[in-house]
């Protein structure tokens, strides 16, 4: 009886120490769900979801404060991926936040630019290059098309243009094929 | 044929596949026609997977035939050999009139940068061609360098740069030369073998030498007896004994790399691995010819044999075509009348790329330009799960499962079912009783997955940049705060010194004032400490002065009254 108690106590202490050690050694600092959600978001940092960037939105989703259909740049694909990850139902994009559109980038009309640096401060991904009273330009490859630089521009010299990619990849269309013979037309 | 002992039958076979009508006779009637020089050549900078080459000429430059006009884009020379690109040379002499985007007949990209050359008709070669007279005495690196400089790519289909397939990371034992040419209508390889068998054998020997391997198997379908005979007699003339010709039963797609290897050696190549992993390397027969030309004549890859065939053509033939020649030029040379009921296909009817017009340039991988009457579109019916597609699939996939997962957009499952092992041969399409365009579903899935991967890379990059920016702003904020705090501390310290100084000054002033006061108080007046006598005298003096003032006043009054 006493031997059993001692043995169990020793085991309990040993496992307790082991667990305690593991808890300290392998402590998860951030919420892993946030990372997973963040990985699915398109990282435009546009703020259309009403959160100041993709990660804050991911945190809000993880806290169940935000819905999964608030990201217009991600569109349907992101919603499906999020629903899949979180075990939620797929729902259409909330149009309050905008519509899903083709990827664009911005272009600075360099003749008009006065070099105020306001757009540089607004760019979330450092895609605008320039200095005070010198011409600015957009690094098109780095631009995510968030359009955050447009409102601060005092001379309206920033324009939205479709993203041009060299050697653009083709996406083959999904062909039509009926699922059932009695499918209504 | 059987008189040659180096012609052998295949040891194995691949699963699935189809027996198709050949349609090869039309274009085998005549020999290879010489290239015609069109007025304009549109030379794409990217003709295969990988990266585009970088132009090294400018608009307005005059170029000579065979001059290098675009090179591998690298930062350092050491990297050069591993980048998936090939040099591009001017196919004829003339002037560069534009470097612009142009649509490309390829499933990889929609359009790419092209160098447009206006030809001068003289077709002058560059003068520094350097043919090698003793190629087998060169070392591997030198041979590889020549092939690399000549811009040779695999001429069978994908156009993978050949010099990259000549590296030897793992021990290799057998070179496989793909001469199967299994697609209907195409005869460009067969006719090339028929006419240039000796040179092809030389090319094979150079590749063997560059790879330092002894054994070579040439896989060729048994419906090309002329080509087989030509190869056999060339081998006999050269007295080469390490090259074997293996007759492969005519069955589409016998010319698929993995299918051919299975047929020739009985070995299967695992998913996600390449022939190199089991000691094999595969080159197309036309590539071997291009290698021979590059080494023996010093000429880069600027032209290739193209089969021009199909319905609605006055004649079908094989032509030596300069890279960059418009397809309409060669079609017109064969008496083609443009018609809306035709469709033009680059490649064969099974795997070819359907073009919307004939305005595309011939590229290094264009083996055939095929004109076919447009089939009336058959409406697809629902899948009845008959399993025919699985039976014919040469890659041993389950096409109908893939089809369902693609429909459901479940791309994870699509990848689990190995969509990337699909060689898009079109056998499943061909046999499907419901006429479902299955290959298009798989292409959709592949391109969708590639795009997603690209987007993922881009979004990760954007996230990194955003995080870097956040970090920088945070750091700046912290630094600003620190600097402010430091400044404040410094100011306070300074002020501290000031107050003590002021205090000392104040005290000094006060002291001085006090001193002055003290002095003032301590200064002795001559009226102090007077004796009794002196005080009395002063009082008397004062009284006398007062009396005098009073008398004067009285006198003044009297005078005033007198005058008044």
Tens of pLDDT, residue by residue over B127-184, are 878 888 888 888 888 888 888 889 999 888 778 888 888 887 778 889 999 999 899 9
Interface test with A, best of B48, B443, B465 (most A CBs within 10 A): B465
| Contact predicate A67/A59, CB 8 Å | no
**β-bridge pairing A158-162 and A104-108:** antiparallel
φ, ψ for residue B134 (rounded to 5)? -125, 60
| Residue-wise pLDDT tens digits, B10-66 | 888 899 999 988 888 888 888 888 878 899 999 988 877 777 888 899 999 999 999
Mean pLDDT (chain B, rounded): 87
CATH 3.30.70.20 fits A102-167, yes or no: yes
Is pLDDT at B500 greater than 70 in this prediction? Answer: no
B12/A182 Cα distance (integer angstroms): 45
In a domain, B200, yes or no: yes
For B329, the domain range is 7-70+84-369
Residue B377 CB contacts under 8 Å (≥ 6 apart), including other chains: none
| pLDDT tier, B432 (very low <50, low <70, confident <90, very high otherwise) | very high
CB-CB neighbors (< 8 A) of B52 in chain A: 166-167
| Nearest-CA distance B508 → chain A (Å) | 53
Instruction: Name residue, tokens 């560069």.
Output: B96
User: Looking at chain A, which residues constitute the CATH 1.10.15.40 domain(s)?
Assistant: 32-97
* Residue in B with minimal Cα distance to A81: B410
Is pLDDT at B75 greater than 60 in this prediction? Answer: no
Question: Length of chain A, please?
Answer: 185
Residue A53 DSSP one-character state: S
Token pair recorded at residue B386: 């008959």
B269/B249 Cα distance (integer angstroms): 20
Exposure letters B397-436 (e unless 16+ CB within 10 A, then b):
bebbbbbbbbbeebbeebeebebeebbbbbbbbbbbebeb
Domain harbouring B358, CATH code? 3.40.50.11540
Q: Does A140 touch chain B (CB under 8 A)?
A: no
| Nearest-CA distance B101 → chain A (Å) | 9
A36/A55 Cα distance (integer angstroms): 10
In a domain, B390, yes or no: no
Size of interface A-B (CB pairs under 8 A): 97
List all residues of chain A from 47 to 76 with a beta carbon under 8 Å from chain B: 53-54
| Contact predicate B280/B261, CB 8 Å | yes
- The structural domain count of chain B equals 1
Is pLDDT at B442 greater than 80 in this prediction? Answer: yes
Shortest CA distance to B420 belongs to which of B273, B267, B283, B252?
A: B273
Sheet holding B342-346, edge to edge: B32-33, B317-322, B303-310, B368-373, B342-346, B353-355
What CA dihedral angle connects B521, B523, B528 and B529, to 10 degrees? Answer: 110
Q: State what percent of residues in chain A have pLDDT above 90.
A: 31
Give CATH superfamily name and number for A32-97: Electron transport complex subunit B, putative Fe-S cluster (1.10.15.40)
| pLDDT tier, A167 (very low <50, low <70, confident <90, very high otherwise) | low
Question: Quick check: A42 and B459 CB within 8 A?
Answer: yes
* Residue in A with minimal Cα distance to B470: A124
B123/B119 Cα distance (integer angstroms): 8
A106/B168 Cα distance (integer angstroms): 46
* Residue in B with minimal Cα distance to A39: B460
Query: Which strand (E) or helix (H) includes residue B17?
Result: none
* Residue in A with minimal Cα distance to B45: A167
Of B81-90, B261-270, B374-383, B428-437, the range with the lowest mean pLDDT is B81-90
- Around Cβ B374, how many Cβ atoms within 10 Å? 11
Q: ω before B253 within 30° of 0 (cis)?
A: yes
Is pLDDT at B1 greater than 50 in this prediction? Answer: no
Higher pLDDT, B564 or B353: B353
- Around Cβ B41, how many Cβ atoms within 10 Å? 25
Q: What is the mean pLDDT of residues B245-265?
A: 91
Q: Does A43 touch chain B (CB under 8 A)?
A: yes
In a domain, B134, yes or no: yes
3-state SS string for B258-286: HHHHHHHHCCCCCCCCCHHHHCEEEEEHH
Shortest CA distance to B326 belongs to which of B294, B362, B276?
A: B362
For the question of an ipTM over 0.85, the answer is no
Of A84-93, B368-377, B432-441, B464-473, the range with the lowest mean pLDDT is B368-377
| Residue-wise pLDDT tens digits, B186-238 | 999 999 999 999 999 999 999 998 888 889 999 999 888 899 999 999 988 88
| Nearest-CA distance B513 → chain A (Å) | 58
A145/A161 Cα distance (integer angstroms): 9
* Whole-number Cα distances in Å, B50 to A52, A137, B53, B85: 38, 29, 9, 6
């Amino acid at each position: 009886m006493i031997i059993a108690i001692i043995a169990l106590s020793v085991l309990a202490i040993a496992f307790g120490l082991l667990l305690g050690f593991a808890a300290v050694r392998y402590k998860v600092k951030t919420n892993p769900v946030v990372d997973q959600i963040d990985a699915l978001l398109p990282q435009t940092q546009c703020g259309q979801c009403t959160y100041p960037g993709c990660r804050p939105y991911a945190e809000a989703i993880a806290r169940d404060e935000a819905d999964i259909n608030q990201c217009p740049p991600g569109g349907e694909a992101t919603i499906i991926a999020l629903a899949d990850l979180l075990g939620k139902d797929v729902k259409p994009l909330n149009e309050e936040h905008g519509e899903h559109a083709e990827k664009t980038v911005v272009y600075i009309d360099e003749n008009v630019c006065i070099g105020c640096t306001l757009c540089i401060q607004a760019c979330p991904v450092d895609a605008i290059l320039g200095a005070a009273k010198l011409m600015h330009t957009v690094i098109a490859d780095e631009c995510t098309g968030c359009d955050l630089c447009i409102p601060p521009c005092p001379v309206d010299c920033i324009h939205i243009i479709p993203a041009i990619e060299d050697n653009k990849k083709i996406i083959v269309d999904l062909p039509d094929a009926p699922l059932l013979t009695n499918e209504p037309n | 044929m059987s008189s040659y002992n180096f012609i052998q039958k295949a040891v194995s076979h691949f699963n699935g596949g189809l027996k198709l009508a050949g349609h090869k006779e039309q274009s085998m009637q005549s020999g290879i026609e010489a290239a015609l020089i069109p007025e304009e050549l549109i030379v794409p900078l990217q003709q295969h997977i990988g990266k585009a080459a970088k132009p090294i000429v400018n608009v307005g430059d005059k170029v000579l035939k065979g001059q290098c006009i675009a090179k591998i884009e690298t930062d350092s020379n050491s990297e050069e050999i591993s980048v998936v690109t090939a040099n591009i040379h001017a196919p004829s002499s003339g002037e560069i009139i534009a470097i612009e985007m142009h649509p490309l007949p390829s499933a990889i990209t929609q359009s790419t940068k092209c160098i447009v050359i206006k030809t001068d008709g003289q077709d002058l070669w560059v003068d520094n061609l350097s043919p090698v007279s003793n190629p087998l005495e060169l070392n591997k690196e030198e041979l590889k360098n020549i092939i690399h400089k000549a811009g040779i790519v695999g001429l069978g289909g994908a156009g993978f740069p050949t010099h990259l397939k000549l590296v030897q990371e793992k021990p290799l034992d057998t070179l496989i030369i793909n001469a199967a040419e299994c697609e209907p209508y195409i005869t460009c390889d067969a006719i090339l073998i028929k006419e240039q068998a000796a040179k092809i054998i030389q090319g094979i020997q150079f590749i063997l030498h560059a790879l330092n391997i002894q054994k070579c198997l040439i896989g060729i379908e048994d419906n090309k007896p002329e080509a087989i005979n030509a190869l056999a007699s060339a081998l006999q003339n050269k007295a080469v004994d390490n090259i074997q010709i293996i007759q492969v039963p005519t069955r589409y797609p016998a010319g698929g790399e993995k299918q051919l290897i299975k047929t020739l050696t009985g070995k299967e190549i695992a998913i996600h691995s390449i022939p190199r992993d089991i000691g094999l390397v595969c080159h197309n027969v036309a590539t071997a010819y291009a290698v021979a030309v590059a080494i023996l004549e010093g000429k880069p890859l600027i032209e290739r044999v193209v089969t021009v065939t199909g319905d609605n053509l006055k004649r079908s033939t094989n032509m030596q075509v300069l890279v960059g020649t418009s397809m309409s030029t060669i079609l017109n040379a064969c008496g083609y009348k443009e018609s809306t009921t035709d469709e033009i296909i680059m490649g064969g009817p099974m795997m070819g790329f359907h073009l919307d017009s004939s305005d595309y340039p011939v590229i290094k991988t264009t083996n055939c330009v095929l004109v076919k009457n447009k089939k009336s579109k058959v409406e697809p019916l629902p899948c009845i799960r008959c399993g025919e597609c699985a039976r014919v699939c040469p890659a041993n996939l389950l096409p109908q499962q893939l089809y369902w997962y693609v429909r459901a957009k479940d791309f994870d499952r699509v990848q689990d079912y190995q969509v990337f092992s699909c060689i898009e041969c079109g056998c499943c399409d061909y046999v499907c009783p419901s006429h479902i365009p299955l290959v298009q579903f798989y292409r959709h899935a592949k391109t969708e997955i590639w795009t997603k991967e690209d987007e993922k890379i881009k979004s990760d990059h954007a996230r990194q940049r955003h995080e870097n920016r956040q970090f920088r702003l945070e750091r700046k904020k912290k630094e600003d705060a620190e600097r402010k705090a430091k400044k404040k501390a410094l100011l306070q310290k300074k002020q501290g010194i000031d107050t003590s100084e002021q205090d000392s000054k104040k005290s000094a002033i006060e002291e001085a004032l006090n001193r002055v006061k003290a002095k003032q108080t301590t200064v002795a007046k001559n009226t102090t400490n007077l004796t009794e006598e002196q005080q009395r005298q002063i009082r008397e003096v004062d009284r006398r002065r007062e009396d005098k003032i009073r008398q004067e006043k009285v006198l003044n009054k009297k005078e005033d009254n007198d005058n008044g």
